[in-house]
Amino acid sequence: MSQKIRVLIVDDSAVVRQTLSQIVASDPLLEVMGTASDPYFAAKKIADETPDVITLDVEMPRMDGLTFLKKIMAQHPIPVVIISSLTDAATETGMKALEYGAVEIITKPQMNTKQFIEESRIRICDAIKAAAHAKLSRKRFAEPLTVEPKLSADAVLPPVTSSQSMIKTTEIVIAVGASTGGTEALTVFLQALPMDCPGIVIVQHMPEKFTRSFANRLNEICKISVKEAENGDSVIRGRALIAPGNYHMLLKRSGARYYVEVKEGPLVNRHRPSVDVLFRSTARYAGANAIGVIMTGMGDDGARGLLEMHEAGAKTVAQDEKSCVVFGMPKEAIKLGAADKVLPLDSIAPFVLKPF
């Protein structure tokens, strides 16, 4: 049996520490190395034994999580998963944490319903595993991790069985999927696009509210407009729509107009929103009028959907291993033969802007 991923849990709430400890301990590939009520206690534990991953609250007494994160990344980089509440203040702080080097953001679990607790368990455990594989200046696990059975995009919409994308048009849709490391990758990609680029639809694995903050921040620094998608939003040139956290997003078409449908549904490939759901809907309604892009991320969400886009006539590209934080999703798409091109991050924007 391979060595377990050792996790240090840092949160000022004893209830949250206990809940997270139970969630981590429930996964056979993870173990709780220790818990700490604030960064000072955490620093003492790290001095004695280095964890593989730290889960970190951002709002704590004595030293806030952001300050602690900056110290970790400057002195002894360790993969960090931010476990945050869904307040507006925490959302902005969480986005800062990603800029400072945190690998993932996860919503703090709430003891509401059995389904919510189970979905939180899946997301937290998967985020920790992804963090353990992130490219940092430290030793990482080389062997691939197994995952539990999961639903496919069939749970949201049926497979494409025929040419349902209508005729070729002059309007192109770019569909993008990303996960771990995707906030940085999407920033680089979107900043390189001109104001008149084709309409873009994006799934980035991220909790609700955080997607809105992420979209707003991108809107401030990009030439194109960027917004969190709302049900019925049109996909138009010079605009990117980001799927809201905790909701699937599908591309639809009415005549010559492309628009998005935002809807609830089960976790697909252990995610909501799911890249596979977006890509399948894009294959169905845009077909050869689309370009598919799969970026850095743990797991295989989007790999089969990119293959469906490829088979429907779309141009497809996967981010290369060297420029990925985690070469999981692109690797799986490449293995399926779903990608026409495998390119470094800074070459993806020029590729999607080339005429068909």
pTM for the whole structure: 0.81
149 pLDDT band (50/70/90 cuts)?
low
Between residues 318 and 153, the one the model is more confident about: 318
- Expressed as residue numbers, the domain containing 191 is 153-352
- Which pLDDT value is given to residue 99? 85
- The reply to whether 300 belongs to the active site is no
- Lowest mean per-residue pLDDT among 97-101, 110-114, 225-229, 341-345: 110-114
Report residue 92 as tokens.
């902005």
Question: Does 205 qualify as catalytic in the annotation?
Answer: yes
Residue labelled with tokens 């590729």: 351
- Residues 37, 79, single domain; the answer is yes
Start-to-end C-alpha separation, the chain:
49
Q: Which of 11, 57, 276, 301 is catalytic?
A: 301
pLDDT in tens, 291-318: 999 999 999 999 999 999 999 999 999 9
- 84, 165, 179, 281: the catalytic one is 179
The domain boundary, picked from 79, 98, 132, lies at 132
Distance CA 356, CA 343 (A): 18
Calculate mean pLDDT across residues 48-59.
Answer: 90
Q: Is the dihedral of CA 285, 287, 290, 293 positive or negative?
A: positive
Q: Which one of the listed residues 133, 205, 248, 310 is annotated catalytic?
A: 205
CB 292 within 8 A of CB 203: no
> Same structural domain for residues 118 and 166?
no
Same domain, yes or no: 87 and 221:
no
Give the largest Cα separation in the chain, rounded. 64
CATH number at residue 211: 3.40.50.180
H/E element, 204: strand 199-204
Residue with the two structure tokens 């169905």: 284
Is the same domain home to 157 and 113? no
- Percent share of the chain, pLDDT over 70: 86
The arithmetic mean of pLDDT across residues 189-212, rounded, is 95
Whole-angstrom CA distances from 19 to 26, 111, 121, 127 are 11, 9, 10, 16
Given the DSSP bridges, would you call strands 30-36 and 225-228 parallel, antiparallel or unpaired? unpaired
Which helix (H) or strand (E) segment holds residue 100: the answer is helix 88-100
Q: What is the residue-wise DSSP string for 7-42?
A: EEEE-S-HHHHHHHHHHHHTSTTEEEEEEESSHHHH
> Which of 132, 163, 185 represents a domain boundary (last residue)?
132
Q: Is 281 one of the catalytic residues?
A: no
| DSSP tag of 144 | P
Express as a percent the part of the chain with pLDDT over 90: 63
- In this structure, what token pair is assigned to residue 14? 């004893």
Number of structural domains (the chain) is 2
Domain boundary among 66, 100, 132: 132
The CATH number of whichever domain residue 122 belongs to comes to 3.40.50.2300
- φ/ψ (deg, to 5) at 56: -135, 130
Residues 70 and 198 in one domain: no
Whether residue 117 sits in one domain with residue 215: no
**Band of residue 192 on the pLDDT scale cut at 50, 70, 90:** very high
Is 10 part of any domain?
yes
